Amino acid sequence: MQQPNQQQNQQQQNQNMTADRNTVSDKELHYLKDFLSWELLAVKKCKDAADACTDPAIRQMIEQTGQKHVAHYESLLAELHA
């Protein structure tokens, strides 16, 4: 059985861990910024590649890939706003 002080310490640690989940460190923020930049770059490259492509089937596949990168970008943004 835990003593009262040990129980209080455990509760405090649990509260701190919960609070830490809601904060983003500077390092994590830089990672998120990089991820967003990479997704935008991928969208732009897909658009350029699709515009240069003459085969309709390949063009469609490239455009779908670009749409997936747009979805990833929007998903990351939604998580940041949550």
- Per 3-state DSSP, what percentage of the chain is helix, strand, and coil (rounded to 5)? 85, 0, 15
Give the C-alpha separation, 60 to 6, whole Å.
61
Q: What pLDDT does residue 39 have?
A: 97
CB 46 within 8 A of CB 63: yes
Domain residue spans in the chain? 25-81
Give the C-alpha separation, 46 to 61, whole Å.
10
Q: What pLDDT does residue 25 have?
A: 87
What residues have CB less than 8 Å from 71, skipping those under 6 apart? none
Task: Evaluate if pTM is beyond 0.75.
Answer: no
Give the C-alpha separation, 39 to 46, whole Å.
11
pLDDT digits (tens, 9 = 90+) for 6-52: 777 676 666 655 556 668 789 988 999 999 999 999 999 999 999 99
